[in-house]
Amino acid sequence: MEPLAIYQRIKERFGDRVLEISESKPDPFCVIDPAAIVEVAIALRDDPETAMDCLSNESGVDYKDRIEVVYHLFSYQLRHGAVLKVQLSRENPVVHTLEGVWKSANWMEREIFDLLGVSFEGHSDLRRILMPEDWPGHPLRKDFVEPLEYHGISTVRESPIIRLDPKRK
C-alpha cells in the first residue's frame, strides 16, 4: 500500500484522533493524537492489510515551538512503510512508550529521552544512553547551551594560535 492509502485507512478507523495527513515531499507523513499512538500502532501492526511488523526508526525533532517524535514503520511481509508523528509540548513532552508493541523501541526511546528530553510513560528502563548520567540538559534541543566545564574538565579549548601569539590575546 502507498503511504497515503495507509493514512486514509487509519483516518477511517480513528477519525479525528488523526490530526493531520501531510502530503509533504518527498516523504508524506501523518500526525496522530499522542494519547492514541499506542492504539494506532497496535492497529497498524495487527491489521493484515498493513501488517507493520517492524519499527524501523524512531527519532525526535525539536521545532522550537513543539517537539515531534517520528516513527518510521515498516512491513517486511508487504514491503511498505509509513511515517507517524506525534506533537508534544516543549515544556512537558510526555508520550506513551511503544516498547510493548515493538521491542526495538526500547533503545531508540532511551536515545530520544537522553538527547531531547521526551519522557516515555511505561518505559521499562528509561535512563540516559549516550550522555553521562549527570549531564545537564538535552543536547539536541535547539536552545541547548553547552556548559563550560564538566567535573572540572573544560569543554572549550583555546586556540593554540591565540595562545602563542601575545598580540592576539
Partner 1 sequence: MSTFHTEEMTLNMGPQHPSTHGVLRFVVRADGEVMREAVPDVGYLHRSIEKIAEKVGYHGFMPYTDRVDYVCAMFTNQGWGMASERLAGIEVPKRGEYCRVIAAEFNRIASHLISVGTMSMDIGAMTPFTHAIREREMINDLIEELCGARLTFNYMRIGGVAWDLPPGWREKALAYLDHFDPILEEYNSLISFNKIYIERLANVGVVTPQEAINYNLVGPNLRACGIKWDIRKDLPYSVYPEFDFDVPVGSGEWGTLGDSMDRYMVRIREMHESSKILRQALKQIPAGPVLAKVPRNFKPPKGECQVRIESGRGDMGWYVVSDGTGYPWRVHVRTGSFAAMGIIQKLSRGLMIADLVTLIASLDVIAPEIDR
How far is residue 38's CA from residue 59's CA, in Å, rounded to a whole number?
16
User: What residues contact 32, with CB distance under 8 A and at least 6 apart?
Assistant: 10, 14, 17, 18, 19, 40, 84, 85, 86
Structure-block grid coordinates of residue 142: 535547539
Asked if 151 interacts with partner 1 (CB under 8 A), we say: no
Instruction: With beta carbons less than 8 A apart as the criterion, state whether 6 and 80 touch.
Output: yes
From 62, 93, 96, 120, residue interacting with partner 1 (rule: CB under 8 A) = 62
Instruction: With beta carbons less than 8 A apart as the criterion, state whether 142 and 64 touch.
Output: yes
From 37, 98, 108, 118, residue interacting with partner 1 (rule: CB under 8 A) = 108
Asked if 83 interacts with partner 1 (CB under 8 A), we say: yes
Asked if 88 interacts with partner 1 (CB under 8 A), we say: no
User: What residues contact 94, with CB distance under 8 A and at least 6 apart?
Assistant: 34, 88, 118, 119, 120, 121
Q: Which stretch binds partner 1 (CB under 8 A): 13-21, 30-38, 97-105, 153-161?
A: 97-105
Angle 23-75-71 (CA atoms, 0-180°, nearest 5)? 50
Closest distance between partner 1 and the C-beta of residue 19, in Å?
Answer: 17
Closest distance between partner 1 and the C-beta of residue 10, in Å?
Answer: 19
From 20, 35, 76, 163, residue interacting with partner 1 (rule: CB under 8 A) = 76
Q: Interface residues with partner 1 (CB under 8 A)?
A: 24-27, 29, 53-57, 59, 61-62, 70, 72, 76, 79, 83, 102-104, 106-108, 115, 128-132, 139-140
